[in-house]
Structure formats: C-alpha cells, structure tokens
Amino acid sequence: MLWLWNVSRTPQQSAETADPKTSSRRATARQNGSSGLEVRPADSGSAIQSDNLLAPSNDQTTAPNRHQVEPTEAEPADKNNQTTLDPRQFGAYEQYKDQPSALYADIKTGSGAAAKPGDEISVAYRGWLTDGTLFDENDGGEQPFSFTLGAGQVIPGWEQAIAGMQVGGERLLIIPPSVGYGPSGSGPIPPNAVLVFRVKVVGLD
C-alpha cells in the first residue's frame, strides 16, 4: 500500500520551462492491496481512496517511448521493485488540481542521510500528464539529473516533495499547477496541468 502525503509548504514562483532540470475529496478510505493507492493529506489525517493507480506487478507491457506514451500502457515492473505505475489511471489525480502544495507517496524507502536544503541530489525520473502522456524522462540509461535542493533550480513542487528522500528511495510525486507550471504551462505541458513524476534518488552529496 502507498500513502500519498500533502507537503504543507508555501508555494513558490513556478518555473518557466517544461524540463524540471531547468526550472520542474474526501472519500471513504479502503485498502486495495498492491493494485490501489491510499491517499492521505497530511494536514487532515483523513484518507482518500484512489483505486487502480498501480498496475499488477506481473504486468508485461512494453516500456513506453520518450514523449510517446499511450494512456493505454503501463510501466513495466522494475526488477528490484514490484511497484508498477499505470498511467492509464492518472486522471484520478485531477482531484488535486487546487492543492496549494505538492503531494507524494513513498514507493521505496532509501537509506542513509535524508535530503535537505543545500544538498546536491542526483535523480532518475519520468514525468507524465494525467492523460498518461510521458512528457519527459531521464530514466532510460541516461545520465542522472543533478540539482541543489532549495536553490530554485527546479519547480517548487520538486523542492517540496523530494526533500527528505534518501539514496535508493523512490517517490511518486503529484504536482498541482500552483507549484508546477501554473496558468502559463510550458512546451508540452498545458496550462494548469497536474503533473505526475516517479523519482528515484541515485546520489546525494
């Protein structure tokens, strides 16, 4: 089971480009095993149900191509992690469009020191729109993307939701437009878009 937490920081100015490296209702709670996601805003203590946001871990769907993910495709299971995201179900995250800050769910807990402002963090990531379209990634064997936490080098939602991660840790980030690209959008990101990222920390200095 994953729990999605509300990060209660004040939103900052949204970045202007589509790449995070140059910027980035309440309902009855119900456990749904590995195929569902329990959403819990940290400031209310109440759980919100979002079903089927995770595909079964035995899904054998082909890995998506950069910028060409069809909403009918799911991520293949990571060989070291059985959590498989299903972009076909990301439309459920539109309910967080008016949130003032980022939300996240820990997919896998890392080890060692927790990321804090001033640390240089190296990550592998994928970013989707809520219709399942993959708009950016570096999680295909490319060099990790590095940035300094708290230095304004990425979108505010990344600053908020990546803080506290450890090396080897993975998170699902839900970025509402208030801490993403706002009413202007950028490149393939439309105005007022909710963004979904899967982020893995591969280095921390």
- Cβ atoms of residues 166 and 160 within 8 Å: no
User: Which tokens in the block code for residue 24?
Assistant: 């980035």
CATH number at 3-204: 3.10.50.40
Per domain, the residue ranges of the chain are 3-204
pLDDT, tens digit, for every residue of 162-183?
999 999 999 999 999 999 999 9
In the chain, beta strands by DSSP E: 3-6, 36-39, 48-51, 54-55, 84-85, 103-108, 120-129, 134-137, 145-148, 170-175, 195-204
Confidence band of 56 (pLDDT split at 50, 70, 90): very low
Q: Which amino acid is at 5?
A: W
Q: Say what the pTM is.
A: 0.70
For all residues of the chain together, what is the average pLDDT?
Answer: 71
User: Which tokens in the block code for residue 151?
Assistant: 């230095």
